[in-house]
Amino acid sequence: MDEDTRGRLTRDGIRIYEASDFAGMHVAGALAARILDEVAPLVFVGQTTHEIDAFITRAVKEAGATSATIGYKGYQHASCISVNHVVCHGIPGDKKLKDGDILNIDVTVIVDGWFGDTSRMYVAGKLPRKAERLIQVTHDSLMEGIAAVKPGNTFGDIGYAIQSYVEANRMSVVRDFCGHGLGRVFHAPPNVLHYGRRGTGPLLEEGMFFTIEPMVNLGRPETKVLADDWTAVTRDKSLSAQFEHSVGVTADGVEVFTLSPGNLFHPTY
Ligand code: MF3
Ligand code: CO
Ligand code: CO
């Protein structure tokens, strides 16, 4: 059965939620963001991504919430941890982090049926200069995308804002993965592209909930998925970074559901 029967659907199949639905998204988003805050001290040289994921599994449980990713299409973990040239959907494992490794940790929780989905970048040891630039540009491109969210703009305006910012900094936007509607389900219409042309795509309307989660590469945009059927890497082995927020469109702009309670969203805090 469709769990998602609130509000109404647009002609593009995008759900319009009620004003009262924002509260549930804020609770779910805040939990996902708090867990990402708590993970920061666990990222160090010699640590395994499995240990980090085990902490996340416990934290979700202790909060009385549910992991959206455990059991999702056969995925077994409470997080995706994507190191260096891994673009997204990195599987936690026993490899130890090395000095200068950069990693994205992506957590999605369900609280009272509402989904909170967020990811951010971390570094083990000393952040290399080139990686710092990549992370800064990726973070700022997400903020450019969020700044384009208001009723009357289109999804193409979001993609354009991100792509033009990234390419002005001589980096590339991954095309093979996108953001997504969410709310009472994990992945719903529309596909939120991180590239595009101004004025194209569906109109943004008050009450839409979705993620923006640009993946940015230092080299070329092409990716491939490894034999484990999950891990996506850059084809040219260049470094990749990603930041993700879950957001809702308001009457005059946007609310971000996954703000970091400790202001730790940026890795070079
Ligand atoms: N959290 C990811 C997203 O941003 C999805 C991960 S699905 C998983 O959409 F199965 F790989 F965990
Ligand atoms: Co997402
Ligand atoms: Co995510």
Which protein residues have their CB within 5 A of the ion that is ligand 2?
Answer: 117, 211
User: For residue 72, which atom of ligand 1 is closest to its CA?
Assistant: 10
Least Cα distance to 242 among 71, 79, 24 occurs for 79
Atom of ligand 1 nearest to the CA of 75: 10
Q: Which atom from ligand 1 is nearest to the alpha carbon of 79?
A: 12
The matching CATH number, chosen from 3.40.50.720, 3.40.920.10, 3.90.230.10, 3.30.70.980, for 8-256 is 3.90.230.10
Ligand nearest to the CA of 91: 1
Q: Is the CB of 108 under 6 A from ligand 1?
A: yes
Of 69, 76, 211, the one to substitute when testing ligand 1's pocket (max ligand atoms within 8 A of C-beta) is 69
pLDDT at 267: 64
Residue-level pLDDT at 7: 84
Residue 269 has pLDDT above 60, yes or no: no
Distance of alpha carbon 259 from its chain centroid, rounded?
A: 12
Q: Are 116 and 257 in contact (CB under 8 A)?
A: yes
pLDDT above 90 as % of the chain? 96
What is the number of the ligand 1 atom nearest to the C-alpha of 213?
A: 4
Tell me the two tokens of residue 192: 């939120």
What residue segments make up the domains of the chain, in order of their start? 8-256
**pLDDT for residue 9 is more than 50:** yes
Compute the distance from residue 86 Cα to the ligand 2 centre, in Å.
16
171 secondary structure, DSSP code: -
Does 53 sit in the ligand 1 pocket, CB within 6 Å?
no
Ligand that comes closest to the CA of residue 75: 1
Pocket probe for ligand 1: among 117, 142, 225, 229, the residue whose CB has the most ligand atoms within 8 Å is: 117
Q: What is the pLDDT of residue 1?
A: 39
Give the pLDDT mean for 155-184. 98
Q: What is the pLDDT of residue 6?
A: 85
Mean pLDDT of 165-186: 98
Instruction: Express each pLDDT in 119-132 by its tens digit.
Output: 999 999 999 999 99
Q: Please name the residue that has the structure tokens 């980090």.
A: 52
Judge if the beta carbon of residue 80 lies within 6 A of ligand 1.
Answer: yes
pTM of the predicted model, to two decimals?
0.98
CA of 27 to the centre of ligand 1 (A): 19
State the pLDDT at residue 268.
62
How many angstroms separate the CA atoms of 109 and 116, rounded?
5
Give, for 211, the enclosing helix (H) or strand (E): strand 209-212
Atom of ligand 1 nearest to the CA of 108: 1
pLDDT at 201 over 50: yes
- 188-192/240-242 β-pairing: unpaired
